[in-house]
Amino acid sequence: MSKETTLITGASSGIGLHLAKEFAKHGHPLVLVAPVEAELQAIAADIKGAHGVEVRVIAADLREAGAETAIREGVGDNAAEILVNNAGHGKKGKAWEIALEEDLSMVRLNVEAVLRLTKMFLPRMVERGRGRILNTASVAGFEPGPGYAVYAATKAFVLSYSESLATELEGTGVTVTALCPGPTDTDFFPKADMMGTRAFQQAQLMAPQEVAEAAYKALMAADRVIVPGLANKAMVFARRFLPESVQAKLNEMLTDDASPEKQKRDRGDMEAKAAEH
Kindly report the average pLDDT of the chain as a whole number: 94
- Strands laid side by side in the 131-136 sheet: 55-59, 30-34, 6-9, 82-85, 131-136, 174-179, 225-226
Q: Counting every residue, how long is the chain?
A: 277
Give me the domain span that covers residue 138. Answer: 6-275
Per DSSP, the three-state class of 65 is coil
What confidence tens digit (pLDDT) does each residue in 60-119 have? Answer: 999 998 898 999 988 876 678 999 999 999 999 999 999 999 999 999 999 999 999 999
| Active site (catalytic) residues | 151
pTM here is: 0.95
If 0-12 CB within 10 Å is exposed, 13-18 middle and 19+ buried, where does residue 243 land? exposed
Task: Please check whether residue 1 lies inside any domain of the structure.
Answer: no
| Count of the separate structural domains present in the chain | 1
**Cβ atoms within 10 Å of 105's Cβ, excluding its own:** 15
User: What pLDDT does 94 receive?
Assistant: 96
Half-sphere exposure of 135 (CA within 13 A, CB side): 33
Task: Please check whether residue 111 lies inside any domain of the structure.
Answer: yes
What confidence tens digit (pLDDT) does each residue in 144-164 have? Answer: 999 999 999 999 999 999 999
What confidence tens digit (pLDDT) does each residue in 231-262 have? Answer: 999 989 887 888 888 888 988 999 999 999 88
Q: What DSSP character marks residue 196?
A: T
CA distance 143 to 245: 10
User: What pLDDT does 65 receive?
Assistant: 84
Task: Please check whether residue 154 lies inside any domain of the structure.
Answer: yes
CA distance 163 to 226: 11
Contact 249, 163 (CB under 8 A): no
Task: Please check whether residue 130 lies inside any domain of the structure.
Answer: yes
